[in-house]
Amino acid sequence: MAANSQTPRFPSVAASSLWAASLLAGLCVTVLLMQPGCSGVGGSTAKAEPAKATVVAFLEAIKRGDDAAARGLLTKLARLKTEELGISVAPPVADTATYSVRDAEVVGEAEDLVHVGTTWTDVDGDGFKTTENVVWVVRLDPEGWRVVGMAMRVFEDMAPLLLNFEDPEDMLSKQEMVAQEIKKRSQQAEKDAAARTARGASPAKVQ
């Protein structure tokens, strides 16, 4: 059967943080795949614990900037594709960054796919804290549980972004889309600010 995408359930988050920007610039992630006609098993189960452990190891590797270790926790195809394009799996993150792992949900009748909810908190140089809710997708492969993707909301008013470790071309296309959207919103914000300044500088009308 041909695979189709399924969006995991996760809370809305604010616009991208420093970590999210680094992620989109250097980290290739995955479209969420499962067989058509399958329904989620739902909930956090004992079967999901090994998948959660893989995510913890993956995030720890990202925190310490260990690209080799992080890449080793991807699926075989994802490792091959990211290596071919020279894509870093562990983008730089702040030393103060922290994460937590929330519930995991087993999906698919074969129970070989798990959605793992996580929260990543980052602080910029000015002390401004941002929090990202990210859902990682982990698949049971012959090598064991391996990261096959993730989903996160970059913009509040847009659908969650699904990126693909196993399809870097799709990832690069979406990376460009995000960059263009950020540029467009920045330009609009500048126009709005200029318009407000102009209105404030206009002389009051004589009654």
Best CA proximity match to 114, nearest among 89, 141, 142 = 141
Could you give the CA distance from residue 7 to residue 173 in angstroms, rounded to a whole number?
19
User: In the prediction, which pLDDT does 147 show?
Assistant: 93
For residues 172-188, average pLDDT: 82
Which pTM does this prediction carry? 0.68
Per DSSP, the three-state class of 179 is helix
Which range among 16-20, 31-35, 134-138 shows the weakest confidence by mean pLDDT? 31-35
Average pLDDT over residues 155-179: 76
End-to-end distance of the chain based on CA atoms, in angstroms? 73
Q: By three-state DSSP, how is residue 91 classified? A: coil
Are 29 and 141 contacting, i.e. CB atoms less than 8 angstroms apart?
no
What pLDDT digit, counting tens, does each position of 108-166 carry?
778 888 999 998 887 777 777 878 788 898 999 999 999 988 877 777 777 777 777 88
The pLDDT score that the predictor gives to residue 17 is: 35
In one-letter notation, the amino acid at residue 52 is: K
170/145 Cα distance (integer angstroms): 23
183-195 as b/e, with b when 16 or more CB fall inside 10 Å?
A: eeeeeeeeeeeee
Rounded to an integer, what distance in angstroms lies between the CA atom of residue 199 and that of residue 6? Answer: 47
Q: What is the pLDDT of residues 42-57, one digit of tens each?
A: 555 677 899 999 999 9
At the topology level, CATH places domain 4-195 in: Nuclear Transport Factor 2; Chain: A, (3.10.450)
CA distance 19 to 152: 12
**Residue 98 pairs with which residues in a beta bridge?**
121
Answer left, alpha or beta for residue 93, where phi above 0 means left and psi between -120 and 50 means alpha: beta
Q: How do beta strands 161-164 and 144-152 pair?
A: antiparallel
pLDDT in tens, 74-110: 999 999 988 888 878 787 777 788 889 988 888 877 8
